[in-house]
A = this chain, B = another copy of it.
Amino acid sequence: MSDPRPIGVFDSGIGGLTVVKALRDLLPNEDICYLGDTARVPYGPKSPETVQRYAMELAEMLMRKNAKVLVVACNTVSSVALPLLTKKFSVPVIGVIEPGARAALQATRNRHIGVIGTRATIRSGAYEKALRAADNNVRVSSRACPLLVPLIEEGLLDDDVTDRMIMRYLEPLLADGIDTLVLGCTHYPLLTGAIARILKRQIMLVDSAQNCAHVVEEMLDRQSLRAARLNRGELHVALTDAADNFLNVARDALQLSFGEIELRSLP
């Protein structure tokens, strides 16, 4: 039994392509439809109500592409809209928070976990809730890092200004005594190299993109939703506004290949 429908993946913009990369590596037979809301990016500074409304619109657009599962490749959306999306749609909805929290709990030794993300993600407390629900004794230190997304989108992945901002954001978390750091924004895996270089001592980095892909794989197996083994999975990318510079940054850094970008109008 196999299911030829595509996996639907959406994000506020281009950052969710880190999740697509992880899905492509793990599930090469699956077709993927990616939808990035570049007309309204970024979601990080916006209110929960606005983010929820936008998320519903994007999810509906992917359902019209006959998606068999909805992957929310955005921590901001996952942190405020997952219950709503789960309630509204009949297909499985998988976010990035739960998988990241689970992997962090497996990685930590001193039970003290750091979380970085956009202002909206950190303000929601979604990682704390997910971590504490699984382990009541875990300590969590979290920090909003609002400048990392613009720095990444400018392609400053290996740059002294970016290094300074990372250091400034992470210093209080290190002083707190974390041994594990959750990269709680789908842009951040593009900074894994820089963050690892700056954190000279041993901090485990938890990449929510990879962990999300593992949860998608488990779910497809459990519900017998895998594509046929002989299928050569295709990646289709749609955006709500013309792609800017960051699409090239992401494509190069992730070594992703996809054809022409489809431009889709918002409702």
Contact = CB atoms under 8 A, between A and B. Distances in A.
Interface in A45-69: 45-47, 49-50
Contacts of A246: 45
B150 A241 contact: no
A221 to B, nearest CB: 39
B241 A50 contact: yes
Contact of A46 (B39, B47, B49, B146): B39
**Range class of the A interface residue count:** 20 to 34
A160 B45 CA distance: 23
Contact of A146 (B40, B150, B241): B150
Contacts of A245: 45, 119
Contacts of A165: 161
A245 B244 CA distance: 26
Given A39-B40, A40-B39, A164-B161, A241 B46 contact: yes
